[in-house]
């Protein structure tokens, strides 16, 4: 009967599941035992790269470059702080997966009601689709810039990356990790090359890493942006909620003895090393993007921060900061490399976005579908607003078409502000829990303190920045009435988010208490059994 049920599940495209996270790859990568630090680290390296991709996706590019153009190196400290917070959160996410053998979505669902699980699934899906819109736009623009493919056709072509993903699932997870790492190095090489040619003032770069009150000031206003709004934009584009779900799942791909605390501790240790190394790479990419805004371009010359505008600026010797860059720009090499990096970033995000979608669907609502079908459905949904945007502006000027795509990408990121607290707070609560993690692996007082400081700070900044994000939907020609409407909508949404957070925290707290009581019951039964055997 069991075999028949399994066969029926395989025949159906969508079926119920409540098993291990990403079952097809869970525990499939062997790691050596007692073979030295570097060899062991190499075996654990990979999941961190998949996570780091989310911190350097196309949504980050314009915020960092624009921040550099407007405020020089002032916001470099924001990139550094965002990266350090990311390292802390991803450490907790990997630890949760390794120790509890559940991903974040499964752990939340195990302690909450079916109704809340459905709400959180929808919220997280919207956040993933928002990042997917940025990937579609980035990949389509890269195809347009590199091969002169019409934008409408390029958007449709992005749908077929599902075939690439299907191919990758056949060659093994370790090779997927290797491909992602290679694409990260392509992106890093492109920006290192351009920044080295620009010869920035490195002493000023280092000074920018130290935060000052001016970093979050409400003045001056440059290009419609203050340091505070620039900082909020960088933070919002850097820390992504779906990365926490992804890391808690892919950290379980290594095959370890889960009954041996020493083996588990080693897995946590090397997963943390892997994550921090890869997130350092992401920090370098984002820092290089900001340095590009300062040193590659002449101050104030990048009027259009969209991908089209940046590509054009890298092709125009008049916008570049020195004669060496200007000479190379004439050949088109700088702009071509930029488009190649954009395409690599979009493809990387495609892989990780699909895996995350599978994690949250299985974890929150216990449904599984083939990974190619999952990708096809989410990509079709994400493509629709982009197709509509391209079609709607097809009869207008090129500048209006470019502005519309850039606004769509920026405005879609508003969903990330909603979803982020609902991944960070449960993650912190569960990794603080002795019942969940045990005495050895629960967060120490320092991680707890830094964790709550980061979570409260990021949640506050995201909600404070929400009115400004919604005002962006009305465009630059917004009337005072439009701005007032946006603000009222934002305040209403903030109340909804806070109410939903209270609901989530309450259910998680009660669920954790039930879990603690069940553990005590099991221990009491074991003690009673031991007493009977002794008698």
pLDDT tens for each residue of 412-459: 766 776 788 899 999 999 999 887 888 889 999 999 999 999 888 888
Name the helix (H) or strand (E) containing 254: strand 254-255
Q: Is the peptide bond before 5 cis (omega within 30 degrees of 0)?
A: no
Among residues 402, 405, 415, 421, the alpha carbon closest in space to that of 469 is found at: 415
Tell which wins on pLDDT, 160 or 150. Answer: 150
DSSP state of 99: H
The more confident residue out of 194 and 232 is: 194
Going through 328-386 in order, the beta strands assigned E by DSSP cover 367-368
With 50 as the cut, is the pLDDT of residue 66 above it?
yes
Phi and psi angles of residue 16, each rounded to the nearest 5 degrees, phi first: -75, 145
Helix (H) or strand (E) holding 365: helix 333-365
Cα–Cα distances in Å, from 366 out to 14, 120, 411, 467? 10, 13, 31, 35
**Which is higher by pLDDT, 216 or 145?**
145
277 — pLDDT class (breaks 50, 70, 90): very high
List residues bridging with 254 in a β-sheet: 29
**How much is the average pLDDT of 307-323?**
83
Surface-to-core class of residue 173, CB atoms within 10 Å of its CB (0-12 exposed, 13-18 middle, 19+ buried): buried
Q: Which CATH class is domain 24-420?
A: mainly alpha
Residue ranges per domain, the chain? 24-420
Residues 367 and 361: beta-carbon distance below 8 Å:
yes
CB 123 within 8 A of CB 419: yes
Locate 32 and state its tokens.
């050596």
| % of the chain exceeding 90 in pLDDT | 16
Task: Tell me how crowded residue 288 is: count the other CB atoms within 10 A of its CB.
Answer: 26
Residue 118 pLDDT > 80: yes
pLDDT reported for residue 435: 79
Whether residue 167 is predicted with pLDDT greater than 90 in this model: the reply is no
Q: Which two tokens stand for residue 383?
A: 């493509």
Q: Give pLDDT tens digits for 29-54.
A: 888 877 788 998 998 888 888 888 87
Quote the mean pLDDT of the chain: 81
**pLDDT tier for residue 526 given thresholds of 50, 70 and 90:** low
Q: Please provide the size of the chain in residues.
A: 535
**Predicted TM-score (pTM) of this structure:** 0.86
Give the helix ranges, DSSP H, for 101-224.
104-110, 114-147, 151-157, 161-171, 173-198, 202-208
For residue 518, the tally of other CB atoms under 10 A from its CB is: 11
User: For residue 80, which of 195, 297, 238 has the smallest C-alpha distance?
Assistant: 238
Please give the pLDDT value at position 84: 92
Q: What's the confidence (pLDDT) of residue 447?
A: 92
Residue 357 near residue 246 (C-beta atoms within 8 A): no
Q: Which of 97, 108, 92, 99 is nearest to 428 (CA)?
A: 92
């Amino acid at each position: 009967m069991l075999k028949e049920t399994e066969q029926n599940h395989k025949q159906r495209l969508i079926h119920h599941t409540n098993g291990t996270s990403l079952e097809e790859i869970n525990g499939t990568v062997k790691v050596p035992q007692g073979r030295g630090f570097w060899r062991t680290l190499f075996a654990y390296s990979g999941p961190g790269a998949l996570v780091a991709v989310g911190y350097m996706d196309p949504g980050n590019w314009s915020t960092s470059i624009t921040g550099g153009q407007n405020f020089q190196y002032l916001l470099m400290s924001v990139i550094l702080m965002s990266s350090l917070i990311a390292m802390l959160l991803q450490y907790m996410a990997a630890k949760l997966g390794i120790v509890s053998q559940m991903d974040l979505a499964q752990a939340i669902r195990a302690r909450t009601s079916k109704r809340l699980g459905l709400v959180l699934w929808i919220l997280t899906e919207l956040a993933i689709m928002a990042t997917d819109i940025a990937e579609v736009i980035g990949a389509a623009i890269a195809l347009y810039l590199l091969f002169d493919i019409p934008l409408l056709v390029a958007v449709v072509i992005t749908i077929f990356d599902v075939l690439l993903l299907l191919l990758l699932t056949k060659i093994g997870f370790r090779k997927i990790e290797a491909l992602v790492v290679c694409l990260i190095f392509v992106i890093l090489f492109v920006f290192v090359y351009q920044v080295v040619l620009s010869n920035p003032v490195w002493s000023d770069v280092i000074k920018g890493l130290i935060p000052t009150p001016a970093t979050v000031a409400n003045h001056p206003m440059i290009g419609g942006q203050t340091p505070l709004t620039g900082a909020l934009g960088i933070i919002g584009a850097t820390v992504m909620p779906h990365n926490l779900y992804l890391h808690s799942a892919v950290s379980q791909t290594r095959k370890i003895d889960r009954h041996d605390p020493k083996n588990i501790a080693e897995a946590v240790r090397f997963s943390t090393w892997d994550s921090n190394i890869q997130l350092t790479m992401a920090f370098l990419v984002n820092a290089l993007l900001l340095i590009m805004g300062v040193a590659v371009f002449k101050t104030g010359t990048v009027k259009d921060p969209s991908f089209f505008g940046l590509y054009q600026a890298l092709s125009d010797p008049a916008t570049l900061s020195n004669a060496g860059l200007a000479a190379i720009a004439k050949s088109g090499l700088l702009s071509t490399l930029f488009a190649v990096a954009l395409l690599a970033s979009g493809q990387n995000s495609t892989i990780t976005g699909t895996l995350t979608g599978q994690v949250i669907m299985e974890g929150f609502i216990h449904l599984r579908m083939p990974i190619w079908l999952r990708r096809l459905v989410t990509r079709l949904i994400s493509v629709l607003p982009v197709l509509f945007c391209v079609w709607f502006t097809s009869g207008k000027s090129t500048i209006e078409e470019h502005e519309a795509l850039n606004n769509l990408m920026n405005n879609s990121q508003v969903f990330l502000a909603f979803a982020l607290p609902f991944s960070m707070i449960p993650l912190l609560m569960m990794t603080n829990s002795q019942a969940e993690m045990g005495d050895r692996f629960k967060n120490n007082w320092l991680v707890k303190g830094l964790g709550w400081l980061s979570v409260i700070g990021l949640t506050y900044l995201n909600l404070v920045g929400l009115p400004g994000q919604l005002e962006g939907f009305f465009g630059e020609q917004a009337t005072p009435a439009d701005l007032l409407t946006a603000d009222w909508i934002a305040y209403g949404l903030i109340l909804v988010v806070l109410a939903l957070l209270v609901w989530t925290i309450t259910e998680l707290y009660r669920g954790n208490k039930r879990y603690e009581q069940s553990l005590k019951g099991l221990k009491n039964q074991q003690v009673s059994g031991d007493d009977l055997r002794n008698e």
